[in-house]
Amino acid sequence: MAEQPFSQSSTVTDHLSRGYERLTQLLALLSSSPANPSTTAPAIVLVDKAMFCIAAALSELQTTSPCSIDSPTAAEDSRNGTDSKKRCKKNVQSWTIVTSVPHFDGHQWRKYGQKRIHSSEFPRSYYKCTHSKDQGCKATKTIQQKEDKISNPPKYVVSYSMHHTCKAIETHEIPIVVDSLAITNEHSTSSSQVASPDLSPVLPKPVADIEQVCPIMDYREPHNEANWFEGSGIMSPFADSDIDWERLMS
């Protein structure tokens, strides 16, 4: 894909979106790296902060033209008594990215709905932060596969609303790797209750939060070693996907 100059806001958004996606992938690499945690953890924090900044920028750009980007989830404003089912989110932080790894963004999500969208071949899945109940985190996201059949791996439009306010639960349990297989692996139906072909949830277990800005998942020491790169020294949650890592790195 040829890089283009920033000629218009949509292009800026596109670049930011791709930057965000690549940061998620970098986060995956950092998180899965067996390198010294004392250096990896601060790097993860920095990446997460960078993602936060890009998300804020995307939010700023995209809120200038509300509903222009396939308006996603409704904000959860029920606490203050306002409408909780606004189709077009006004005054709500939201941003949209296009990615091939829609599930891996370092947070835990719980699926709460799925709908077929008019004039769209693929259903849209709705996710809330896992901590929406226990910590009142208002972050939500929707995932919908793009109708771009030539894309390999398939691309997904991921729309986020609200930043996370939750903190990862402190635990000493060994975290697990994100199962990104479902994203690109032929719409596997082997996992539990996969009705939607491609949007099966991916829920890493929480680990100790590294910083307060945003909780960060730690994916070191996966429970499924078969998914990890062998010989490269890098454990990747995308190992079974069709992601062209060399191209991504270019």
Partner DNA sequence: GGGATTTGACCAAC
Partner DNA sequence: GTTGGTCAAATCCC
Token pair in block for residue 11: 């292009």
* 50-81 as b/e: b if 16+ CB within 10 A: ebeebbebbbebbbeeeeebebbbbbbbeeee
Q: Is 112 in the site for DNA (CB under 7 A)?
A: yes
**29-68: contacts with DNA (CB under 7 A):** 67
Shortest Cβ 16–DNA spacing (Å): 21
Q: How far apart are CA 42 and CA 216, in angstroms?
A: 11
Residue among 31 and 161 whose Cβ is closer to DNA:
161
Determine if 117 is a binding residue for DNA (CB under 7 A).
Answer: yes
Which of 16, 72, 105, 107 touches DNA (CB under 7 A)?
Answer: 72
Residues 170-199 that bind DNA (CB under 7 A): 192-196
Give the list of residues 6+ apart from residue 127 with CB closer than 8 angstroms, or none. 109, 110, 111, 112, 140, 141, 142, 143, 201
User: Which member of 85, 91, 148, 242 binds DNA (CB under 7 A)?
Assistant: 85
Contact between residue 41 and residue 215 where contact means Cβ atoms under 8 Å apart: no
Residue 111 β-bridge partners = 127
Binds DNA (CB under 7 A): choice among 76, 105, 218, 240: 76
**Beta strands 109-116 and 94-99, pairing class:** unpaired
Contact flag: residue 80 with DNA (CB under 7 A)? no
- In the range 132-171, which residues lie near DNA by CB under 7 A? 140, 142, 161
Among 4, 8, 9, 78, which residue sits at the site for DNA (rule: CB under 7 A)? Answer: 78
**Residue 208, token pair as written in the block:** 């100790």
Interface residue list for DNA (CB under 7 A): 67, 71-76, 78, 83-88, 110-115, 117-120, 124-126, 128, 130, 140, 142, 161, 192-196, 200-201, 203
